[in-house]
Structure 1
Amino acid sequence: MIDLRRLHVLRAVAHYGTVTAAAQALHFTPSAASQQIRQLSRDLGVDLLEPQGRGVRLTPAAESLLAHADAIQARWEQAELDLRADHGEPAGLLRVAGFTVAVPVLLAPMAARLGELHPRLSVRITEAGVPQSFDLLFEGAVDLVVAEVTPHNPPLSDTRFDQQSLLDDPFDLVVPEGHRLAGRERIELADAAHEPWIAPVPESPCRTHVMSACGAAGFTPEVVHHALDWNVTAHLVANGLGVALIPRLAHLTPHLPITRVRCSGNPHRKLLTVTRGGGHARPAVRAALTQLRELASTAVA
């Protein structure tokens, strides 16, 4: 009989990449996590980890086991849902997470609507970046995530997560009032190729979106300022320090002397809803997904 707790430790090593990181996430010591995997290896009679440089890597046997482990986790999640089912009525605690823009535009109004429709349901919101959101889902700390697509997301084929498209969030070119492009209804992004640019910091997921949009338009922007927050970006634009691509969902400080101009070719980022495999069947999650889809349908008009 496979010990599911030991199997979860192996899944954590695969998810986080090292025994130390997995142990930290599971609140184990590294030695305790290693001991769990060694015991699982003895139980199964196969090696699960092998040396690689100063670390370890999963053996082919471990990779094969994990494919079954992810399916087991999804079935276990479904079993818990079946046992706790309350005639399909959303109730209990629903834990959700999302990145900075998603919280005020999507998650907060979703929670307010759910509170009115389902008084027995309590919603808890956590602001979290994309990598952290997937970690929270994997750990069971949240039930539903709104995330943006980045090159670092797990692939759609990863059965641990159910990733569904929610909406496309267009990027607008934001320029100072009175700028030569401010009066246009729509522009070609290449029209701003020779402008000084304000871009997200290199570690921001949106950095990739901005640079890719400019590259598709045939130029590499001259980035003179970097910002982490969209409102900081908007203030830099307002002071005439450059132009920027800012997603339409981003709520900017009112009355700034700036103008949003729509771009031909529709540069955008994609937003997803993400649950654990099988987790979308929970009544509370289904209710939340319904509200999120309704909010998304009008969010970027």
Structure 2
Amino acid sequence: MIDLRRLHVLRAVAHYGTVTAAARALHFTTSAASQQIRQLARDLGVDLLEPQGRGVRLTPAAESLLAHADAIQARWEQAELDLRAEHAPAGPLRVSGFPVAVSVLLAPMAVRLHERHPRLSVRIQEAGVPGSFDLLFEGETDLAVVEATPHNPPLSDARFDQQPLLDDPFDLVVPEDHPLAGRERVDLADAAHEEWIAPVADSPCRPHVLSACGEAGFSPDIVHHALDWNVTAHLVASRLGVALIPRLAQLTGHLPITRVRCTGNPHRKLLTCTRRGARERPAVAAALRELRALAPKAVA
């Protein structure tokens, strides 16, 4: 009989990449996590981890076992769905997302759900993209709104159900008296010789900005970097450069800046993500309906 607690430790190692990181997430010591995996290997009579440099990697037997473990997790989600299928949304619903998603999508979603389903209690947690996937894996959140990035788990990952929510266009943001400010739409090539303000190096949006400029035929002269979109907007207002900012980002209202829509529609994709099998749970399904209703208006 497989000990499901030990199996969960192995799943954590696969998710976080190392025994140490898995142990930290599970609030174990590294030695305790290692002992759980060794005991699971002895129970099954197979090797589950093998040395790779200074670390370890999963053996083919471990990969096979994890495929079954992910299927078991999805069946548990389906079992809970079957038990709740005839009930109205109720109880706690835990959702997470990056800052703009929380402000523009998850907060109004929570208000609508409270009005329509008084027995449903929405609990919001701000989290970046990797953090939201970790929360889903750990069972600490039920639904996440994330950006699509090359570093996300693949869509084929059996643990997660990732579905498109909306395309969030980037607008060129310039000082209000800038020569490009009066245009209805602008070709980014017209801003090729400007100084630029870009997201910091590890921002999920930085590759989108660089790609959009590259497709317009130039590499931007980036002189300033910012993490928060309102910081970027203040730098633009101070005439320190121009920037591409997602339309979802709500900027300080009094700033002397102008958003100009871009030809070619550069954008980022937002996804909703749940654990596999959880999307049809009444509370999650209700939240998804509200998000789909809010999304088009948010980027209009």
TM-score category, normalised to shorter length: over 0.9
The Cα shift of 1:81 comes to 3.1
Q: Output the CA distance in 2 between the equivalents of 1:31 and 1:268.
A: 45
The C-alpha deviation readout for 1:156-176, integer Å capped at 9, x for no partner, is 000100000000000000000
SS in 1 for 2:56: strand
Q: Output the CA distance in 2 between the equivalents of 1:23 and 1:76.
A: 24
Q: What is the aligned partner in structure 2 of residue 244 from structure 1?
A: 243
Q: What is the aligned partner in structure 2 of residue 95 from structure 1?
A: 94
TM alignment of 1:193-232, pairs within 5 A: 193-232=192-231
Q: Output the CA distance in 2 between the equivalents of 1:147 and 1:228.
A: 17
Q: What is the aligned partner in structure 2 of residue 178 from structure 1?
A: 177
Q: What is the aligned partner in structure 2 of residue 276 from structure 1?
A: 275
Q: Output the CA distance in 1 between the equivalents of 2:80 and 2:112.
A: 26
The one-letter code matched in structure 2 to 1:208 is: P
Q: Output the CA distance in 2 between the equivalents of 1:46 and 1:217.
A: 54
Equivalent pairs, count = 300
**1:49 matched to 2:45:** no
Greater Cα shift, 35-44 or 242-251: 35-44
Q: What is the aligned partner in structure 2 of residue 82 from structure 1?
A: 82
The one-letter code matched in structure 2 to 1:60 is: P
SS in 2 for 1:205: coil
SS in 1 for 2:99: coil
Q: What is the aligned partner in structure 2 of residue 68 from structure 1?
A: 68
The C-alpha deviation readout for 1:63-109, integer Å capped at 9, x for no partner, is 111111111111012223334x1623000000000001001110000
SS in 2 for 1:281: coil
Q: What is the aligned partner in structure 2 of residue 115 from structure 1?
A: 114
Whether the 8 Å CA contact 2:13–2:22 is kept in 1: the answer is: yes
The one-letter code matched in structure 1 to 2:290 is: Q
The one-letter code matched in structure 1 to 2:158 is: T
Q: Output the CA distance in 2 between the equivalents of 1:93 and 1:282.
A: 12
The unaligned stretches of length 5 or more in structure 2 are none
The Cα shift of 1:287 comes to 0.2
Q: What is the aligned partner in structure 1 of residue 11 from structure 2?
A: 11
SS in 2 for 1:279: coil
Q: Identity across aligned pairs (percent)?
A: 82
The one-letter code matched in structure 1 to 2:67 is: A
Whether the 8 Å CA contact 2:130–2:152 is kept in 1: the answer is: yes
The C-alpha deviation readout for 1:32-76, integer Å capped at 9, x for no partner, is 111111111111111000011111110111111111111111101
The Cα shift of 1:153 comes to 0.6
The one-letter code matched in structure 2 to 1:232 is: V
- TM-score normalised by structure 1 residue count: 0.98
**1:158 matched to 2:157:** yes
